[in-house]
A and B are shown apart, each in its own frame.
Chain A
């Protein structure tokens, strides 16, 4: 893993967030509490060719993961899901417990038999990239507390040395990450300014390099230009293009080549997801030689969009429903996360009416 600049050590993961696979089975983990993205070699046990083509379903995945972690389902939050590109084992980013007891755990579910294991992060090959919109050096607004352990920094007060912990007030919450074109793309929400930044961090991470930051505007109906945080996005077309869903629900297309550092990019709004709705996750897949995108959202079933329709879709100019590219809405409710499973399947994390959570395989040929 030397080629990717990973070094052996302990990942001080402070919170569970978005996860995605990069090259050579390296898993990226977003840690909002530490304002850092980690790249970790998870040393996946490749189950061989038989790990490939069959669908994979696991009912009550929250109860099962909770049981393994010694917690009731209500004390388990599955923050994100990723599928290993070769073995198709399923990885979950899990928060166990709440408040002071909250603990981030990375869990692997075997594609072959559904066996659950946790992945200890105290002796792994990893690299870390801090986020550049963590508080600036001149942002002096920090809460200062006295830590119990060895956290924080030591300062001299009179004749005494005390250890203090500076907790930033301004924070960035990563909403989605994806690897494309030799870089990790990071979308986030600030707890202060309302911005629409997509950060591109070249991988392997370089010391001190926090990557470039791009503000992507979009135009609503040819009349209003707006910026908003990106909630979910997916690279497609071999990583040449991005389709992003915004918190205010437009679905916006832009070519990755347009994203030069510091430039203002204007994406093309190609669809809207509708009112009282939130995009949750996106995935691309190929069916009969054509690339398609799936959008999971909070109010409707899965939305399926053909990439060729995006390419031919002019910018939306009139507010109307349904708007934008032709799309099919699949009668599949409660889907929160999506990932390519391989073998012609997309894996979904689905919440049912009782709040139970299940992993299900959807056959792409039937979507």
Chain B
């Protein structure tokens, strides 16, 4: 009588088998069902799980080449017959991960909105986005075909922040997607971005709760981001009050955090704490040391985009007949100011 159990052996997790005759032919398969062909080791059957059998006294230990996966059932066959079925238990824990931010935080977005950023409190699993992120109208119906159905989920390296794109084929003028379906978002028709609680964190547990953010929808935005139109509230020289910059429209949350920099009269960056304001329509820099007097420059990286993907250097989909929409030089743009 063969008995199988989870155990440790030869430096790792193993399946320990007792009561086996010497030289027995043992194989392991994931899953509960094993077809007769697979069990018999036929060419048409599934291959056995890679690993090695190690003799420990009277026992035989199966040490897998790839670690056993929690939540997976493993079937043991001996001489082609099912001898045991073992379940690798999932950790017994309560869901704790939650959505900590949905950007934009603006209350109104243009109908050619290009992307969202979702922030989670703990690292997440890949492969859930298409199933658990949706756009819904106020009547509860889903807005279908709005999000880009990509097999490449755009996570940051720690899998805490996910970038979700709306399908550019629906947004760009002249493409069949836009011709057939129009903008996925309609001016005057509010919608919600909804994240289902089934979204799995990196440990395989669902979210503690679903999350959502409601937006109003305005007209299309198709202009360059123009730093010359921003309003700067310049702090007095000698003070440590923040420089405040108010934009003419909400800008991209992810890019804002790296595209703005202040250069002091000495030509060096002004160190301090930068902060993006609510609605991504303002930005401020509180300096570590008091403001010097003299000319300063707010330096804007030309890749900085608004919510519709228009950047300082180019309009998202440029109408070739509009000369004002021509691409601008992909060089940093500066806005001068002088604390007094």
The interface of chain A, by Cβ under 8 A from chain B, is 33, 35, 60, 63-64, 66-72, 75, 77, 95-103, 105, 113-116, 118, 139-141, 143, 145, 167-171, 173, 175, 189-195, 219-228, 231, 247-250, 264, 272, 274-278, 280, 298, 319, 321, 323
Contact = CB atoms under 8 A, between A and B. Distances in A.
Contact of A249 (B153, B175, B311): B175
Given A99-B123, A173-B153, 17 more contacts: A35-B157, A70-B50, A96-B66, A99-B124, A99-B126, A100-B203, A139-B258, A141-B258, A143-B156, A169-B156, A220-B317, A225-B320, A226-B316, A249-B177, A264-B327, A275-B181, A278-B150
Nearest to B269: A138
A105 B165 CA distance: 28
Given A167-B157, A191-B156, A249 B309 contact: no
B13 to A, nearest CB: 11
Contacts of A71: 30, 66, 69, 72
Interface residues of B, number: 79
Contact of B126 (A70, A102, A194, A319): A102
B192 interface: no
Interface stretch (B133-141, B166-174, B233-241, B284-292): B166-174
Contact of A68 (B50, B170, B311): B50
Given A68-B49, A99-B124, A116-B47, A191 B254 contact: yes
A99 B176 contact: no
A193 to B, nearest CB: 5
B156 A221 contact: no
Contacts of B263: none
Nearest to A97: B69
Contacts of B262: none
26 contacts: A64-B47, A70-B49, A70-B65, A72-B72, A101-B69, A113-B43, A139-B258, A169-B156, A170-B156, A170-B258, A189-B152, A189-B154, A191-B154, A191-B156, A224-B173, A224-B320, A225-B317, A225-B320, A227-B314, A247-B165, A274-B176, A275-B176, A275-B180, A275-B181, A277-B177, A278-B148
**Residue picked from A70, A96, A170, A319, most chain B C-beta under 10 Å:** A70
Contact of A67 (B46, B145, B160, B319): B46
A224 B157 contact: no
A323 B50 CA distance: 50
B172 A226 contact: yes
Given A70-B68, A220-B174, A225-B320, A193 B303 contact: yes
B31 interface: yes
Contact of A219 (B148, B160, B320): B320
Contacts, number: 217
A275 B47 contact: no
A228 B168 CA distance: 8
Contacts of A77: 127
A64 B44 CA distance: 10
**Residue picked from A75, A219, A220, A231, most chain B C-beta under 10 Å:** A220
Contacts of B145: 275-276
Given A220-B174, A227-B314, A248-B177, A103 B254 contact: no
A167 B51 CA distance: 33
A276 B181 contact: yes
B154 A72 contact: no
Contacts of A170: 156, 254, 258
A114 B204 CA distance: 32
Contacts of B191: none
A276 B145 CA distance: 6
B318 to A, nearest CB: 5
Contacts of B177: 248-249, 274-277
Contacts of B252: 192
Contacts of A115: 47
B321 interface: yes
B49 A224 contact: no
A275 B30 contact: no
B14 interface: no
Contacts of B48: 67-68
A17 to B, nearest CB: 9
Contact of A72 (B30, B155, B181): B30
Contacts of A116: 47
Contacts of A141: 257-258
B72 A99 contact: no
A98 B154 contact: no
Contacts of B65: 70, 118
A192 B163 contact: yes
Instruction: Please provide the 8 A-B residue pairs with the shortest distance between their CB atoms, ordered closest to farther.
Output: A99-B202, A99-B125, A67-B46, A220-B174, A167-B158, A275-B177, A191-B154, A70-B49
A275 B172 CA distance: 12
B125 A98 contact: yes
A70 B30 contact: yes
Given A70-B69, A116-B47, A224 B169 contact: no
A72 B49 CA distance: 11
A112 to B, nearest CB: 11
Contacts of B305: 193-194
Contacts of A275: 145, 169-170, 175-177, 179-181
